[in-house]
Structure 1
Amino acid sequence: MSKIVDTDEAWSFFEKMENAYFRPAQSPKALPGNYIQALEALVESEKEKLVISDERDEAIRTKSQISRTREASAMGKLSVATRKNRELTERLGESVKHATITAVKNATVKEYKFAPLRRWCRENKVEAKEVPDIRYGHVKSWPAESWLQVYGINLKSLFAAKVFTRN
Protein backbone atom coordinates (compact mmCIF):
# COMPACT_ATOMS: atom_id res chain seq x y z
CA MET A 1 0.00 0.00 0.00
CA SER A 2 2.82 2.41 0.85
CA LYS A 3 4.41 1.79 -2.56
CA ILE A 4 1.15 2.81 -4.26
CA VAL A 5 0.93 6.01 -2.19
CA ASP A 6 4.58 6.81 -2.90
CA THR A 7 4.03 6.15 -6.59
CA ASP A 8 0.95 8.37 -6.66
CA GLU A 9 2.85 11.17 -4.94
CA ALA A 10 5.73 10.78 -7.39
CA TRP A 11 3.44 10.92 -10.42
CA SER A 12 1.65 13.94 -8.95
CA PHE A 13 5.01 15.70 -8.49
CA PHE A 14 6.11 14.91 -12.07
CA GLU A 15 2.77 16.17 -13.43
CA LYS A 16 3.21 19.46 -11.58
CA MET A 17 6.73 19.82 -12.95
CA GLU A 18 5.57 19.10 -16.50
CA ASN A 19 2.72 21.59 -16.19
CA ALA A 20 5.07 24.26 -14.87
CA TYR A 21 7.57 23.67 -17.67
CA PHE A 22 5.36 22.98 -20.69
CA ARG A 23 2.25 25.04 -19.80
CA PRO A 24 3.39 28.03 -17.70
CA ALA A 25 0.20 30.07 -18.31
CA GLN A 26 -2.00 27.31 -16.84
CA SER A 27 0.07 26.57 -13.75
CA PRO A 28 -0.62 28.80 -10.74
CA LYS A 29 3.05 29.63 -10.09
CA ALA A 30 4.78 29.48 -13.42
CA LEU A 31 8.55 29.47 -13.36
CA PRO A 32 10.03 32.52 -15.08
CA GLY A 33 11.30 31.85 -18.62
CA ASN A 34 14.05 34.45 -18.59
CA TYR A 35 15.93 36.92 -16.41
CA ILE A 36 13.45 39.81 -16.93
CA GLN A 37 10.48 37.63 -15.94
CA ALA A 38 12.38 36.49 -12.85
CA LEU A 39 13.04 40.10 -11.86
CA GLU A 40 9.40 41.05 -12.48
CA ALA A 41 8.25 38.09 -10.36
CA LEU A 42 10.65 39.17 -7.59
CA VAL A 43 9.39 42.77 -7.69
CA GLU A 44 5.78 41.56 -7.64
CA SER A 45 6.54 39.32 -4.66
CA GLU A 46 8.19 42.18 -2.76
CA LYS A 47 5.23 44.48 -3.52
CA GLU A 48 2.85 41.85 -2.11
CA LYS A 49 5.00 41.60 1.04
CA LEU A 50 4.89 45.40 1.46
CA VAL A 51 1.11 45.47 1.04
CA ILE A 52 0.71 42.68 3.60
CA SER A 53 3.09 44.44 5.99
CA ASP A 54 1.22 47.76 5.60
CA GLU A 55 -2.14 46.06 6.21
CA ARG A 56 -0.75 44.38 9.33
CA ASP A 57 0.66 47.66 10.64
CA GLU A 58 -2.65 49.44 9.96
CA ALA A 59 -4.54 46.67 11.81
CA ILE A 60 -2.20 47.05 14.79
CA ARG A 61 -2.65 50.85 14.79
CA THR A 62 -6.43 50.51 14.56
CA LYS A 63 -6.53 47.97 17.37
CA SER A 64 -4.37 50.22 19.53
CA GLN A 65 -6.56 53.23 18.79
CA ILE A 66 -9.72 51.28 19.63
CA SER A 67 -8.12 50.12 22.87
CA ARG A 68 -7.15 53.69 23.84
CA THR A 69 -10.63 54.94 22.98
CA ARG A 70 -12.27 52.25 25.10
CA GLU A 71 -9.94 52.98 27.98
CA ALA A 72 -10.61 56.72 27.78
CA SER A 73 -14.35 56.10 27.63
CA ALA A 74 -14.23 53.77 30.63
CA MET A 75 -12.15 56.26 32.62
CA GLY A 76 -14.60 59.05 31.74
CA LYS A 77 -17.55 56.95 32.86
CA LEU A 78 -15.76 56.01 36.06
CA SER A 79 -14.97 59.66 36.75
CA VAL A 80 -18.60 60.67 36.23
CA ALA A 81 -19.80 57.85 38.47
CA THR A 82 -17.31 58.82 41.18
CA ARG A 83 -18.42 62.46 41.06
CA LYS A 84 -22.09 61.46 41.24
CA ASN A 85 -21.35 59.18 44.17
CA ARG A 86 -19.63 62.00 46.06
CA GLU A 87 -22.45 64.42 45.27
CA LEU A 88 -25.08 61.95 46.50
CA THR A 89 -23.07 61.27 49.63
CA GLU A 90 -22.87 64.98 50.36
CA ARG A 91 -26.58 65.40 49.70
CA LEU A 92 -27.28 62.60 52.16
CA GLY A 93 -25.26 64.38 54.83
CA GLU A 94 -22.29 62.01 54.98
CA SER A 95 -19.25 63.75 53.62
CA VAL A 96 -15.91 65.06 54.74
CA LYS A 97 -17.27 68.63 54.45
CA HIS A 98 -20.70 68.34 56.15
CA ALA A 99 -22.53 65.72 58.16
CA THR A 100 -25.92 65.30 59.76
CA ILE A 101 -26.32 64.29 63.38
CA THR A 102 -27.85 60.99 62.29
CA ALA A 103 -24.91 60.18 60.00
CA VAL A 104 -22.36 60.86 62.74
CA LYS A 105 -24.47 58.98 65.28
CA ASN A 106 -24.62 55.94 62.96
CA ALA A 107 -20.86 56.08 62.39
CA THR A 108 -19.85 56.54 66.05
CA VAL A 109 -22.82 54.97 67.88
CA LYS A 110 -23.07 57.99 70.22
CA GLU A 111 -25.78 60.59 70.80
CA TYR A 112 -25.25 64.24 69.77
CA LYS A 113 -27.32 67.41 70.25
CA PHE A 114 -27.81 69.96 67.51
CA ALA A 115 -27.85 73.04 69.77
CA PRO A 116 -24.06 73.26 70.35
CA LEU A 117 -23.47 72.86 66.60
CA ARG A 118 -26.02 75.57 65.81
CA ARG A 119 -24.47 77.91 68.41
CA TRP A 120 -20.98 77.39 66.97
CA CYS A 121 -22.27 78.09 63.43
CA ARG A 122 -23.98 81.32 64.55
CA GLU A 123 -20.89 82.54 66.43
CA ASN A 124 -18.64 81.84 63.44
CA LYS A 125 -21.16 83.02 60.81
CA VAL A 126 -21.22 79.67 59.03
CA GLU A 127 -24.35 78.23 57.43
CA ALA A 128 -25.42 74.61 57.82
CA LYS A 129 -26.64 72.89 54.65
CA GLU A 130 -30.13 71.49 54.26
CA VAL A 131 -30.14 67.88 53.03
CA PRO A 132 -33.07 65.58 52.20
CA ASP A 133 -34.23 63.21 54.93
CA ILE A 134 -36.87 60.49 54.65
CA ARG A 135 -38.27 61.04 58.13
CA TYR A 136 -38.38 64.85 58.32
CA GLY A 137 -38.28 66.02 54.71
CA HIS A 138 -34.89 67.67 55.19
CA VAL A 139 -32.44 68.22 58.04
CA LYS A 140 -29.34 70.29 58.74
CA SER A 141 -25.94 69.01 57.72
CA TRP A 142 -23.37 70.68 59.96
CA PRO A 143 -19.94 71.82 58.69
CA ALA A 144 -16.86 69.72 59.43
CA GLU A 145 -15.25 72.55 61.42
CA SER A 146 -18.21 72.73 63.78
CA TRP A 147 -18.04 68.98 64.43
CA LEU A 148 -14.33 69.25 65.13
CA GLN A 149 -14.63 72.26 67.47
CA VAL A 150 -17.76 71.20 69.35
CA TYR A 151 -17.45 67.41 69.61
CA GLY A 152 -13.82 66.79 68.52
CA ILE A 153 -14.95 64.66 65.59
CA ASN A 154 -12.91 64.80 62.41
CA LEU A 155 -15.30 64.06 59.53
CA LYS A 156 -12.41 63.27 57.18
CA SER A 157 -11.23 60.41 59.34
CA LEU A 158 -14.81 59.33 60.03
CA PHE A 159 -16.19 59.29 56.46
CA ALA A 160 -13.16 59.33 54.10
CA ALA A 161 -12.52 55.60 54.37
CA LYS A 162 -16.23 54.95 53.83
CA VAL A 163 -16.31 57.12 50.67
CA PHE A 164 -13.24 55.45 49.13
CA THR A 165 -14.44 51.92 49.81
CA ARG A 166 -17.72 52.65 48.01
CA ASN A 167 -15.94 53.92 44.89
Structure 2
Amino acid sequence: MAEANISVDLDQFSCSVCLDLLKDPVTIPCGHSYCMICITNYWNQDDQKGIYRCPLCKQIFTTRPVLGKNVVFAEMVEELKKTRLQAAGSAVHHAGSEDVQCDSCTEMKQRAGKSCLECRSSYCQNHLEQHENLFRGKKHNLIDANRRLQEMICPRHNKMY
Protein backbone atom coordinates (compact mmCIF):
# COMPACT_ATOMS: atom_id res chain seq x y z
CA MET A 1 0.00 0.00 0.00
CA ALA A 2 1.40 3.42 -0.96
CA GLU A 3 1.94 6.05 1.72
CA ALA A 4 0.07 9.31 1.32
CA ASN A 5 1.84 12.61 1.81
CA ILE A 6 -0.44 14.97 3.67
CA SER A 7 0.43 18.59 4.27
CA VAL A 8 -0.46 19.74 7.79
CA ASP A 9 -0.25 23.00 9.65
CA LEU A 10 1.60 22.67 12.97
CA ASP A 11 -1.15 24.73 14.61
CA GLN A 12 -3.49 21.78 14.10
CA PHE A 13 -1.36 19.82 16.56
CA SER A 14 -0.64 22.63 19.01
CA CYS A 15 -2.31 23.05 22.38
CA SER A 16 -3.95 26.46 22.67
CA VAL A 17 -3.23 26.49 26.41
CA CYS A 18 0.56 25.88 26.43
CA LEU A 19 1.08 26.86 22.76
CA ASP A 20 3.31 23.85 22.10
CA LEU A 21 2.88 20.54 20.28
CA LEU A 22 0.30 18.34 22.01
CA LYS A 23 1.61 16.10 24.78
CA ASP A 24 -0.69 13.17 25.62
CA PRO A 25 -3.39 14.69 23.36
CA VAL A 26 -7.04 14.43 24.37
CA THR A 27 -10.07 15.60 22.45
CA ILE A 28 -12.98 17.05 24.41
CA PRO A 29 -16.66 16.70 23.34
CA CYS A 30 -16.69 19.93 21.26
CA GLY A 31 -13.90 18.47 19.13
CA HIS A 32 -10.96 20.62 20.28
CA SER A 33 -7.76 18.93 21.42
CA TYR A 34 -5.41 19.78 24.27
CA CYS A 35 -2.53 18.30 26.22
CA MET A 36 -3.99 16.07 28.94
CA ILE A 37 -2.23 18.05 31.68
CA CYS A 38 -3.21 21.46 30.23
CA ILE A 39 -6.95 20.81 30.03
CA THR A 40 -6.90 19.02 33.39
CA ASN A 41 -5.21 22.01 35.07
CA TYR A 42 -7.52 24.42 33.24
CA TRP A 43 -10.62 22.60 34.46
CA ASN A 44 -9.21 22.16 37.98
CA GLN A 45 -9.26 25.95 38.34
CA ASP A 46 -13.07 25.97 38.00
CA ASP A 47 -13.73 22.60 39.62
CA GLN A 48 -15.66 24.07 42.56
CA LYS A 49 -18.15 25.73 40.16
CA GLY A 50 -18.96 22.42 38.51
CA ILE A 51 -18.93 24.06 35.08
CA TYR A 52 -16.27 23.11 32.56
CA ARG A 53 -15.73 24.98 29.32
CA CYS A 54 -13.56 24.69 26.25
CA PRO A 55 -10.79 27.33 26.30
CA LEU A 56 -11.27 27.92 22.56
CA CYS A 57 -14.97 27.83 21.70
CA LYS A 58 -16.21 28.36 25.29
CA GLN A 59 -18.73 25.51 25.01
CA ILE A 60 -19.92 24.60 28.51
CA PHE A 61 -20.07 21.07 29.90
CA THR A 62 -22.09 20.68 33.10
CA THR A 63 -20.38 17.40 33.95
CA ARG A 64 -16.64 17.07 33.66
CA PRO A 65 -15.89 15.09 30.48
CA VAL A 66 -13.87 11.92 30.85
CA LEU A 67 -10.55 12.36 29.07
CA GLY A 68 -9.02 9.61 26.99
CA LYS A 69 -5.84 9.80 24.95
CA ASN A 70 -6.37 10.59 21.28
CA VAL A 71 -4.13 7.83 19.91
CA VAL A 72 -4.26 9.03 16.30
CA PHE A 73 -3.19 12.57 17.26
CA ALA A 74 -0.48 11.18 19.52
CA GLU A 75 1.00 9.16 16.63
CA MET A 76 0.82 12.15 14.28
CA VAL A 77 2.50 14.43 16.82
CA GLU A 78 5.32 11.91 17.26
CA GLU A 79 5.85 11.89 13.49
CA LEU A 80 5.83 15.70 13.47
CA LYS A 81 8.43 15.77 16.25
CA LYS A 82 10.70 13.48 14.21
CA THR A 83 10.25 15.71 11.17
CA ARG A 84 10.91 18.84 13.25
CA LEU A 85 14.10 17.40 14.71
CA GLN A 86 15.38 16.51 11.26
CA ALA A 87 14.54 19.97 9.96
CA ALA A 88 15.96 21.63 13.08
CA GLY A 89 19.46 20.63 12.07
CA SER A 90 19.26 23.06 9.14
CA ALA A 91 17.15 25.82 10.71
CA VAL A 92 18.78 29.22 11.17
CA HIS A 93 16.44 30.59 13.80
CA HIS A 94 17.84 28.73 16.80
CA ALA A 95 18.67 30.98 19.69
CA GLY A 96 22.36 31.68 20.11
CA SER A 97 24.06 32.67 23.33
CA GLU A 98 23.35 36.38 22.73
CA ASP A 99 19.75 35.89 21.58
CA VAL A 100 16.61 35.98 23.69
CA GLN A 101 15.12 32.47 23.76
CA CYS A 102 11.45 31.71 23.22
CA ASP A 103 9.90 30.84 26.58
CA SER A 104 7.36 28.50 24.96
CA CYS A 105 9.68 26.30 22.90
CA THR A 106 10.23 23.02 24.73
CA GLU A 107 12.61 21.11 22.47
CA MET A 108 15.02 23.23 20.45
CA LYS A 109 14.81 26.82 21.72
CA GLN A 110 14.11 29.29 18.91
CA ARG A 111 15.16 32.93 18.83
CA ALA A 112 12.44 35.18 20.26
CA GLY A 113 11.35 38.22 18.26
CA LYS A 114 8.87 39.79 20.68
CA SER A 115 8.19 39.88 24.40
CA CYS A 116 4.74 40.32 25.94
CA LEU A 117 4.57 42.69 28.90
CA GLU A 118 1.40 41.08 30.28
CA CYS A 119 2.56 37.47 30.03
CA ARG A 120 6.16 38.43 30.79
CA SER A 121 7.32 35.93 28.21
CA SER A 122 9.24 36.09 24.97
CA TYR A 123 8.09 34.34 21.81
CA CYS A 124 9.53 33.03 18.55
CA GLN A 125 7.48 33.74 15.42
CA ASN A 126 5.50 30.49 15.67
CA HIS A 127 4.56 30.94 19.33
CA LEU A 128 3.95 34.68 18.82
CA GLU A 129 1.26 33.87 16.24
CA GLN A 130 -0.35 31.43 18.68
CA HIS A 131 -0.14 34.04 21.46
CA GLU A 132 -1.81 36.64 19.23
CA ASN A 133 -4.58 34.20 18.27
CA LEU A 134 -5.19 33.28 21.90
CA PHE A 135 -5.24 36.87 23.20
CA ARG A 136 -6.77 38.65 20.20
CA GLY A 137 -8.85 41.60 21.41
CA LYS A 138 -7.15 41.67 24.81
CA LYS A 139 -4.57 44.31 25.58
CA HIS A 140 -1.28 42.44 25.45
CA ASN A 141 1.52 44.92 24.74
CA LEU A 142 4.40 43.51 22.72
CA ILE A 143 7.92 44.90 22.59
CA ASP A 144 11.05 43.75 20.81
CA ALA A 145 12.46 40.70 22.58
CA ASN A 146 14.43 41.70 25.63
CA ARG A 147 16.34 39.38 27.94
CA ARG A 148 15.91 41.86 30.83
CA LEU A 149 12.11 41.84 30.58
CA GLN A 150 11.49 41.03 34.25
CA GLU A 151 13.85 43.80 35.37
CA MET A 152 12.00 46.36 33.24
CA ILE A 153 8.70 45.95 35.09
CA CYS A 154 8.03 47.64 38.42
CA PRO A 155 6.89 44.90 40.85
CA ARG A 156 4.86 47.40 42.86
CA HIS A 157 2.91 48.97 39.99
CA ASN A 158 3.20 46.11 37.48
CA LYS A 159 4.20 48.60 34.75
CA MET A 160 7.36 49.24 32.74
CA TYR A 161 9.94 51.56 34.30
TM-score range, shorter chain: under 0.3
TM-score (norm 2): 0.19
Which protein has the bigger helix share?
Answer: 1
Which protein has the bigger strand share?
Answer: 2
Q: Which has the larger radius of gyration?
A: 1
